[in-house]
Amino acid sequence: MVSVMIVEDETAIRELLSFICEKENWRTVKAGSLDEAGRLIRQTKPDLILLDVMLPDGSGFDWLNRLKRDETSRDYPVIMLTARGDEIDRVEGLESGADDYVVKPFLPRELIARIRAVLRRNKVTALLNEIPDEEAGRIVRGPLVLDEARFEATVNGEPLKLSVKEFRLLHLFAKHPGRVLSRSQVLNAVWGNQIVDVRTVDVHMLRLRKALSGTAAENLLETVRGVGYRFRYEEK
Ligand code: CA
C-alpha cells in the first residue's frame, strides 16, 4: 500500500490532503511541524512526502535541503505545496531537490495525478538502477561492447576513452535499446539524488557523443526533441 506523509501545519488543509489520499486507498501519515515530520519519517518510511513551505518551526525548503543531503533520506520523493509565485520560483530552481510542486489551492484530481506521476517516475528509476547480476557482465550492441565490471567500452574492439559518468550513461542507454529516457530519468539513474541540474545530462551527453564520433557507434544515441534521448538499435 502506498503511504504518503503530509507535512502541513494548517489542520483543515492537512485533513483535506489526507482525505483525498485516503480515497485512493493510500495510507497517510500526518505531521504538523518539521520536528514531527523528522520523527515520523524514520518510523513510517513513507513512499512520498507532501511538504508545505511555511511550517511553525522552519522552512519546508530548508528541511527538504537537509533531507536531500542526508544519504538515509535523500531518496524520498517530495512534492512541495506552494502558495505564492516566489515559492514556485524557488521550487522550480532545480537546486531545491523537489520532485514536483502543487500550488494551493489545488484540485484534488490534479494533486492525485502529480502524486501518481512522481511515484511512477521513482519506480522507473528504481528499475533503471537495478542491474541484475547475470546482466552485469557484458552488453553487446552491434559494434559496441560494454564491460561493466571493467568500466570498459569498445567499438569494433577499439577502446573508447570515457569518464565513469560517460560510461554509466552509455551503459544505461545500451541496456534499454529503443527506449526514450527523459533527462530526469537519466539524472536519477546516473547521478542518483545528488543535487545537480538536469542540464548536466546534456553536457555529459555531448561529451559522450564526442567520444563516439568518428566510430561505428556514432549514430547510436539520438536526441528525441523535447523528451530526452534514445539508444537507436534493433536486435537482428
Ligand atoms: Ca503552512
Q: Are 9 and 33 in contact (CB under 8 A)?
A: yes
Residue 69: how many other CB atoms lie within 10 Å: 13
Q: Is the pTM of this model over 0.75?
A: no
**Tens digits of pLDDT across the chain (236 residues):** 789 999 999 999 999 999 999 998 899 999 999 999 999 999 999 999 999 999 999 999 899 989 988 888 888 999 999 887 767 766 665 567 888 888 888 889 889 888 888 887 776 555 444 444 334 568 888 889 888 777 789 998 889 998 888 998 999 999 888 889 998 889 888 887 677 787 888 999 999 999 999 999 998 999 998 889 999 877 65
Q: Alpha-carbon distance 147 to 152, whole Å?
A: 5
> What's phi and psi for 73, nearest 5 deg?
-125, 0
CA of 51 to the centre of ligand 1 (A): 9
CA of 53 to the centre of ligand 1 (A): 6
CA of 82 to the centre of ligand 1 (A): 9
Ligand 1 is a single-atom ion; what residues have CB below 5 A from it?
9, 52, 54
CA of 121 to the centre of ligand 1 (A): 27
- Residue 61, H or E segment: helix 60-69
| Cβ neighbours of residue 167 closer than 8 Å, sequence gap 6 or more | 146, 151, 152, 153
DSSP state of 177: T
